[in-house]
Amino acid sequence: MNLKIIYQDENLLVLEKPAGMIVFPEGKIKEKTLVDFLLERYPELKKVGEAPRYGVVHRLDKETSGILLVAKNEKALKFFQRQFKERKVIKKYLALLHGRLKENFGRIETLIGRSPKNGQKQKVYLPFEPKAKGKRKAITEYRVLERFQNYTLCEVMPKTGRKHQIRVHFSYLGHPIVGDKIYSFKNQKSKLKRHFLHAFYLKIKMPEGREREFQSELPKDLKEFLEKLR
């Protein structure tokens, strides 16, 4: 597979993850993952981190496309992961939501944890709920870029990195991401084959001390879907 490389140096590989691909294998997954393709091209990554991640600094959901960071050595991996842990990385996504959001800006702050009814899903918990104990804080900020008759295009800035965070938070607001097969409501069908969520911007400090910004264009399928709405 021909992976698109945005940037690389001796410490870091920045690539565009395509939609529909799992980043690294977990559980009973048998399909080929992004890490499998990376190891074919960069076998030295087997010395970075632990299986099955091998140098992957952070993750994106299977159907989410966009910027993904892979460290090329152990020292760089710890350096970049520390920034994610300390919430120093600026990440921005483009998300198309069902319905029309009223506010131009917003901040969603809840607890998030696994759903007791469905192990594949995450769920919002409020602090006073009996089952909220041990659930993790999740913060998502957003601003509206464009409104359509039945949709809203947003720039989304997650301040924490919980599993499915953006998808769970907008579903909680009553405005799930278009094409989301897990968190959309029954009456919200879409012709999109995957959910409309793209990691288009990332800013992070490099080992030499300066900050770098990376950007990724909206993929063809999402761009065409937007054009039809316009």
Task: Return the pLDDT at 189.
Answer: 78
Element housing 162 (H / E): none
- Report whether 195 contacts 178 (CB < 8 A): yes
pLDDT at 3 (0 to 100): 87
pLDDT of residue 186: 83
Q: What is the dihedral of CA 58, 14, 221, 162, to 10 degrees?
A: 10
Per CATH, 4-86+200-220 and 93-172 having the same topology is answered yes
Q: What is the mean pLDDT of each run of 10 residues along the chain (230 residues)?
A: 91 97 82 92 95 94 97 98 96 98 96 90 89 92 96 97 97 96 87 95 97 97 94
CATH class belonging to 93-172: alpha beta
Task: Give the per-residue pLDDT at 227.
Answer: 94
Find out whether the peptide bond into 52 is cis, omega within 30 degrees of 0: yes
Question: Domain-by-domain residue ranges, the chain?
Answer: 4-86+200-220, 93-172
Tokens of 160: 């924490």
Run of H or E including 224 = helix 220-229
Answer positive or negative: Cα dihedral of 52, 55, 58, 59. negative
Assign domain 4-86+200-220 one CATH number from 3.40.50.150, 3.40.50.300, 3.10.310.10, 3.30.2350.10.
3.30.2350.10
Q: Which residues are catalytic?
A: 61
Q: How many CA atoms lie within 13 A of 122 on its CB side?
A: 22
Q: What is the distance, to the nearest Å, from the Cα of residue 110 to the centroid of all Cα atoms in its chain?
A: 18
pLDDT at 119: 81
Q: What angle do CA 200, 206, 209 make, to 5 degrees?
A: 135
| Cβ 79 vs Cβ 212: under 8 Å | no
